Amino acid sequence: MEIDYIRESGVCYLRIISDNDHLIRNRMRMITLNRMEGMANVTCRNVNNREQYLYNISSTMPLTQCFEKTEMKKEDVLRLAEGIKKGVHTLERYLLDVNGLILNPEYIFYDSSKNEYRFCYYAGNKVGTEDGMKALFEYVIEHVCHGDAKAVTLAYGIYKRICIGNVDIDHLTDTEESEEVKKPEVVEEYIPVDNFIPEISKEEHEEKDIVKIYCIYGAGAILALIFIYSLAGIFIKGVRIKGISGAVYILICVAAGICIYMGYKWYEKNKDLLVKTVTSVSSEPYQKKKVRIIVPESVPENREELYTVVLNGREEKNKGVHCLKWVDAKGSHSYEVRQDACVIGSAADRADCCILLPGVSRVHARITKEGDTYYIKDMNSTNGTRVNDRELGCFELCEISSGDNILIGDAECVFV
């Protein structure tokens, strides 16, 4: 069995090239002749005496892509479990072997327009339903939101049932109501990573310039003393310096008063000059996030290893910043690709880089960074993605570098 993606006439397909087995061919005939609820529509064709099954996955997104940057809530886990239940019941209704249901999260597709999952069926699938569900919910536990206690409890409860062989599809989501499952304790630890350069962060804040303020206060105090002394010299002859008349003291008093007044007016208008911007630099080591789900005490003996899942966070790097540039009717635009994964599309609520041009799908493409290398992947878009005039296949990963021309729908972009 070979699996890949192809695009024909603007339609994206998941293609399974079958082994030459007449038993598989006979079982697949049922699913190719019917439109089954919860299942991806499939057509069959024969190429070089080998059967090819094409599953229509247009306008859908793989489960692995849906939760690459977000975490699964309780509603997401329930939706996935209900989709499995619907798919199994559909196969049983058509008298098909449920072990043919492909439960690899990479080949489970989410249809946002119907808010449901589509599953693929292949009669030659060598991974049984129980093993497939176990691997699927190991993925779910890794991506579940650890701040949502109900989501963690639900995902863990389903995984527990699968591990002990208690897989009842009709009661797959009854964990919370039928059993008093103790909520697993979620522990988050941050471990410094010594072999990475510490992250340098700069923060600017304003502070009063004490030196300037003290100088202004000092000058004001001196002028005030001169004003008071000259004022006293006008009326008290005993404080006058010999040879200096009262008229001189009057002039000095008036001049000091004018200077004090002008100084006050200047201070009111130029208070901002007495504030300086200070940049503080801090160095923080990179840390690895380690999440542990601690098993409740009621777990049977010798099964603890089945229920404990250790999740390692991603170690982040940030070396240099690349940009994606394009032009539309409003002018030129630029988006800095700072994160390790950047979604490009026309839906502002789902895309990091939003391009509002014709031909751009809601979720069109994705740029990822691995080490110092950048890649772009077409995300099952309607009009496709081109890199330097070469059209990418559906979900094809293509390396890009500075200066490459990328055509996203009708948007002509440059990666710099």
Phi, psi of 267, deg, nearest 5 = -65, -40
pLDDT at 344: 92
- Given a contact cutoff of 8 angstroms between Cβ atoms, the answer to whether 16 and 53 are in contact is yes
Res 181 pLDDT > 50:
no
pLDDT at 288: 52
Cα angle, residue 402 at apex, residues 398 and 406 outer, rounded to 5°:
55
- Given a contact cutoff of 8 angstroms between Cβ atoms, the answer to whether 378 and 392 are in contact is yes
> Which range among 148-157, 181-190, 202-211, 231-240 has the greatest average pLDDT?
148-157
Q: Where are the beta strands (DSSP E) in 176-313?
A: 185-192, 199-208, 275-284, 287-294, 310-312
- Given a contact cutoff of 8 angstroms between Cβ atoms, the answer to whether 31 and 96 are in contact is yes
Q: What is the Cα gyration radius of the chain?
A: 35
- Given a contact cutoff of 8 angstroms between Cβ atoms, the answer to whether 375 and 395 are in contact is no
* Each residue's pLDDT tens digit, 60-118: 889 988 888 788 999 999 999 999 999 999 989 888 888 999 999 999 999 888 889 99
Reported CATH class of domain 323-415: mainly beta
- Given a contact cutoff of 8 angstroms between Cβ atoms, the answer to whether 117 and 151 are in contact is no
d(CA 207, CA 186): 42
pLDDT at 177: 44
Question: Model confidence at 180, in pLDDT bands (50, 70, 90)?
Answer: very low
Share of the chain above pLDDT 90, in %: 24
Per mean pLDDT, which range of 23-32, 166-175, 404-413 is the poorest? Answer: 166-175
Res 8 pLDDT > 80:
yes
- Given a contact cutoff of 8 angstroms between Cβ atoms, the answer to whether 1 and 122 are in contact is yes
d(CA 172, CA 9): 40
Paired residues of 8 in beta bridges: 11
pLDDT at 394: 84
Arithmetic mean of pLDDT over the chain: 81
d(CA 378, CA 384): 7
pLDDT at 84: 92
Q: Which has the closest alpha carbon to 18: 42, 35, 38?
A: 42
pLDDT at 103: 93
d(CA 385, CA 392): 6
Question: Model confidence at 169, in pLDDT bands (50, 70, 90)?
Answer: confident
d(CA 146, CA 156): 11
Q: Are strands 353-354 and 341-345 parallel, antiparallel or unpaired?
A: parallel
Per mean pLDDT, which range of 32-41, 83-92, 284-293, 364-373 is the poorest? Answer: 284-293
Is this model's pTM higher than 0.85 or not? no
Per mean pLDDT, which range of 93-97, 272-276, 403-407 is the poorest? Answer: 272-276
* Each residue's pLDDT tens digit, 224-253: 999 898 888 888 878 888 778 888 888 988
- Given a contact cutoff of 8 angstroms between Cβ atoms, the answer to whether 392 and 398 are in contact is yes
Mean pLDDT of the region 156-164: 87
Mean pLDDT of the region 172-199: 55
* Each residue's pLDDT tens digit, 126-145: 888 888 999 999 999 989 98
Q: Are strands 61-62 and 42-47 parallel, antiparallel or unpaired?
A: unpaired
d(CA 13, CA 107): 11
Question: Model confidence at 283, in pLDDT bands (50, 70, 90)?
Answer: low
**Superfamily of 1-173 according to CATH:** Transferase(Phosphotransferase) domain 1 (1.10.510.10)
Collapsing DSSP to helix, strand or coil, 311 comes out as strand
Element containing residue 332 per DSSP (H, E) = strand 331-337
pLDDT at 289: 52
d(CA 244, CA 210): 39
pLDDT at 42: 92
* Each residue's pLDDT tens digit, 342-399: 899 988 888 889 998 988 988 899 999 888 889 999 988 888 899 998 988 888 889 9
pLDDT at 279: 72
Structure token pair of residue 89: 């019941």
Length of the chain: 416
